[in-house]
Amino acid sequence: MQAAARLMCICALFILGSCGGDRVALTPLQPGDTVLAFGDSLTAGFGAAAQQSYPEVLENLALLNIINAGVSGELSAAGLQRLPALLAQHQPKLVIICHGGNDMLRSRGNNAAKNNILQMIALIREQAAEVLLLGVPRPGVFLSTADFYDEIAEETGVAYLPDLMQEVLGNASLKSDAVHPNAAGYQLIASDIHAYLLEAGAL
């Protein structure tokens, strides 16, 4: 029994170590540094009060200046056009990207969304800022994160939370409608991002 228990402990430590290894290290942020939360309605906070969106909740948790740059209904092509002015205006140290969901909902093609997000990442890096990418699930009864987010993370090496949105939108108690979180859902998103930033060394 003791040998079996030791084996279980070793396996648990190995799993935890593996999870930690998946975290991309981020440059430490100072209190008051600017973070740009960039995306569509999932960033804007559709389905909850303005102060309950994940960027607003995260700002209070992380003590950072978080700009909510979410636009409901936006396609990734429009986001790509909008991003340069925001980078110039706010000069963020970190950009959290949660985009591409509307491309999938409107059947605009995953390749277009992938290419647009890749260009967003390139623009952000040109400004010497870092990226945290959030995966978005493809529409369907059984939600799973669209494969192109994994491809983007692998190709660019950005910090990445693949399954957070899938977990929230797969839980009816955390949703305001079929595709948007409620206040509790946004709270969980903010808490998980905060935990990631802590583990990645940003906070």
Beta carbons within 8 Å of 47's beta carbon, 6+ residues apart: 41, 175, 176, 177, 180, 181, 182, 185
Beta carbons within 8 Å of 51's beta carbon, 6+ residues apart: none
Q: What is the pLDDT of residue 142?
A: 82
How much of the chain, in percent, has pLDDT values that exceed 70? 89
Residues 181, 99: Cα–Cα separation, whole Å? 15
Domains of the chain by start residue, with CATH:
26-199 (3.40.50.1110)
Q: What is the pLDDT of residue 14?
A: 33
Q: What is the pLDDT of residue 140?
A: 77
Q: What is the pLDDT of residue 109?
A: 83
Question: Nearest Cα to 69, choosing from 57, 47, 87, 49?
Answer: 87
Given a cut of 90, is residue 200 above it in pLDDT?
A: yes
